[in-house]
């Protein structure tokens, strides 16, 4: 089972790519999904269950790599494939609880709420 | 290379904040500088911290309410502190009336009169927020004047000193005479009045003496200091080097590395939202937040008569 820090790190890796727009950066984001999710699923013993979807995503990734430099319009198809990878991969990650996408900020008001009074010693 | 992730910032922010407000006999007190532009939530933060500071009592192994000493200002918000009672210390020659935001006098205040800093120490309420107002006509303690003159090699000393020097006297005597196991947090808003950058004349000597005599051993004496001002450049650089914690509010300027700041991106505080702050200590930094308080509801101190 993936530990909490690993899930947080995965969420952080994804978050780092949430604002990027370059073709190669999007490819790298897809690589993160396709390397981390199968590993985490294997750890959980659920890799077999998702093998068809994952091999489809791998194929889409390969075709995206082939066409990403095609200035005739192939890169647009490539980006569509990557978007599909992102959608499906996130669906699996959230369903199988593999990722922590956001951690709530800690509030000062939650700290030291119940304190004893020294005057009553 | 990976950027430092938000989850790491949140963890560090919570850890450093917890250390700032929770004091253990082993680690002692904390000295913090806080910088915020006008209206970016400085007072609300100070009010929250005043209510949450705690120390670990080794006898019963529990966290207890820590005594807070708050430097009162003409328009202040100490009455908004939650979780702790508060009392006011004023000089016996000063008559001060405290008015709420509608101008109605506040009558249910516990007020103590003092003549010297020792009187404040005697009347100090443990676990409360003790607000003190500096005397309007202030004659510095003779023993202290002698000590400063000797240490700073100065011949003359003004007979009537600036009232703000009383805070130096108070810290000096508290450090000397308080119970050894007692933890106290000083909260000083608009700290540039006390520790101004490029001070002149006697103030230069006083700040230098304060740094050498009091500030150096604050942590070991179990005293904590939270100094709030608008910009780090308003604070004496000699004091800056003594700060263990640095807290930045939205759009506050982050000092360069020579002031022991580990934050390389100097526009980091610009990205903070209202209610969030950036806190750093010993090369680590993080983000945390606090609840908003309506600080429009202030207490006004009016000096009505001087005998």
- Residue A99 burial by CB count (10 A; 0-12/13-18/19+): exposed, middle or buried? buried
Report helix angle A4-16 to A23-44, nearest 10. Answer: 160
Size of interface A-B (CB pairs under 8 A): 87
**pLDDT value at residue B4:** 43
Question: Among B206, B91, B194, which residue's Cα sits nearest to residue B145?
Answer: B206
Residues of chain B with pLDDT under 70: 1-6, 305-307
**pLDDT value at residue B305:** 62
DSSP of B137-162? SB---HHHHHHHHHHHT-S---SSBP
**pLDDT value at residue A48:** 94
Chain B residue with the nearest C-alpha to that of A104: B10
Predicted confidence band of residue A1 (pLDDT cuts 50, 70, 90):
low
Residue B257 burial (CB count, 10 A): 10
**Beta-sheet pairing, B67-71 with B129-132:** parallel
**3-state DSSP helix/strand/coil percent for chain A, to nearest 5?**
70, 0, 30
Q: Does B19 touch chain A (CB under 8 A)?
A: no
**Beta-sheet pairing, B62-65 with B111-114:** unpaired
In a domain, B301, yes or no: no
In a domain, B300, yes or no: no
In a domain, B306, yes or no: no
Q: A interface mutation test: which of B52, B67, B129 has the most A CBs within 10 A?
A: B52
Predicted confidence band of residue A121 (pLDDT cuts 50, 70, 90):
low
Look up the ipTM and state it: 0.81
Percent of chain A with pLDDT over 90: 55
Domain count, chain B: 1
Q: What are the domain boundaries of chain A?
A: 4-96
Are the C-beta atoms of residues B145 and B104 closer than 8 Å to each other? Answer: no
Contacts of B10 in chain A (CB under 8 A): 103-106
Q: Does A52 touch chain B (CB under 8 A)?
A: no
Residue ranges with strand state E in chain B: 22-23, 31-35, 54-57, 62-65, 67-71, 75-76, 86-91, 94-99, 111-114, 129-132, 184-188, 223-229, 245-248, 276-281, 284-289, 299-306
Q: How near does any CA of chain A get to the CA of B304, in Å?
A: 33
In a domain, B302, yes or no: no
**pLDDT value at residue A120:** 63
Q: How near does any CA of chain A get to the CA of B19, in Å?
A: 11
Predicted confidence band of residue A29 (pLDDT cuts 50, 70, 90):
very high
Q: What is the CATH number of the domain that holds B30?
A: 3.40.50.300
With an 8 Å Cβ cutoff, are A108 and B48 in contact?
A: yes
With an 8 Å Cβ cutoff, are A105 and B7 in contact?
A: no
Among candidates B10, B18, B60 on the partner chain, residue whose Cβ is nearest the Cβ of A111: B18
The range of the structural domain enclosing residue B69 comes to: 6-295
Give the span between the Cα atoms of B196 and B198, in whole angstroms.
6
Are the C-beta atoms of residues B106 and B99 closer than 8 Å to each other? Answer: yes
**pLDDT value at residue A97:** 92
Give the span between the Cα atoms of B175 and B101, in whole angstroms.
36
Q: Does B49 touch chain A (CB under 8 A)?
A: yes
Q: Does A16 touch chain B (CB under 8 A)?
A: yes
Q: B interface mutation test: which of A17, A110, A115, A117 has the most B CBs within 10 A?
A: A115
Alpha helices in B127-236 (DSSP H): 142-152, 166-177, 201-213
In a domain, B256, yes or no: yes
Contacts of B61 in chain A (CB under 8 A): none
Q: Where do we find the tokens 């509608």? A: B102
Question: Among B99, B66, B67, B49, which residue's Cα sits nearest to residue B293?
Answer: B49
| Residue A39 predicted with pLDDT over 60 | yes
With an 8 Å Cβ cutoff, are B54 and A112 in contact?
A: yes
Q: What is the largest CA-CA distance in chain A?
A: 81
**pLDDT value at residue B142:** 83
């Amino acid at each position: 089972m993936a530990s909490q820090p690993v899930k947080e790190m995965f969420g952080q890796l994804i978050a780092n790519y949430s604002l990027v727009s370059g073709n190669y950066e999007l490819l790298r984001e897809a690589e993160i999904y396709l390397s981390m999710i199968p590993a985490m699923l294997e750890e959980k013993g659920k890799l077999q269950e998702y093998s068809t979807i994952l091999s489809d995503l791998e194929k889409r990734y390969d075709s995206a790599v082939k066409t990403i430099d095609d200035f005739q319009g192939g890169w647009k198809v490539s980006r569509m494939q990557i978007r599909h990878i992102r959608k499906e991969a996130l669906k699996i990650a959230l369903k199988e609880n593999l990722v922590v996408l956001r951690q709530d900020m800690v509030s000062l008001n939650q700290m030291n709420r119940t304190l004893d009074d020294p005057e009553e010693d | 290379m990976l950027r430092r992730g938000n989850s790491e910032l949140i963890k560090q922010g919570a850890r450093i904040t917890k250390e700032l407000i929770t004091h253990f006999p082993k680690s002692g007190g904390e000295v913090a500088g806080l910088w915020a532009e006008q209206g970016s939530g400085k007072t609300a933060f100070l009010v929250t911290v005043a209510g949450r500071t705690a120390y670990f009592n080794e006898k019963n192994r529990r966290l207890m309410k820590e005594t807070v000493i708050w430097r009162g200002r003409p328009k202040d918000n100490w009455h908004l502190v939650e979780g702790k009672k508060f009392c006011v210390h004023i000089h016996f020659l000063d008559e001060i009336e405290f008015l709420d935001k509608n101008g109605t006098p506040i009558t249910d205040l516990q007020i103590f009169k003092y003549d010297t800093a020792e009187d404040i120490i005697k009347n100090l309420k443990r676990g409360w927020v003790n607000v003190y107002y500096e005397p309007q006509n202030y004659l510095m303690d003779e023993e202290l004047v002698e000590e400063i003159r000797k240490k700073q090699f100065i011949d003359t000393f003004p007979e009537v000193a600036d009232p703000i020097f009383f805070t130096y006297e108070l810290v000096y005597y508290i450090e000397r005479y308080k119970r050894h196991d007692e933890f106290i947090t000083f909260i000083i808003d608009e700290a540039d009045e006390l520790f101004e950058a490029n001070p002149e004349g006697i103030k230069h000597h006083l700040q230098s003496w304060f740094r050498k005599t009091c500030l150096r051993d604050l942590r070991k004496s179990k005293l904590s200091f939270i100094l709030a001002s608008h910009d780090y450049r308003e604070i004496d650089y000699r004091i800056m080097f003594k700060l263990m914690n640095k807290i930045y509010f939205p759009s506050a300027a982050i000092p360069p590395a020579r002031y022991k700041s580990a934050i390389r991106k100097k526009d980091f505080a610009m990205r903070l939202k209202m209610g969030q702050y950036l806190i750093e200590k010993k090369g680590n930094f993080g983000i945390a937040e606090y609840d908003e308080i309506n600080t429009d509801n202030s207490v006004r101190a009016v000096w009505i008569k001087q005998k």
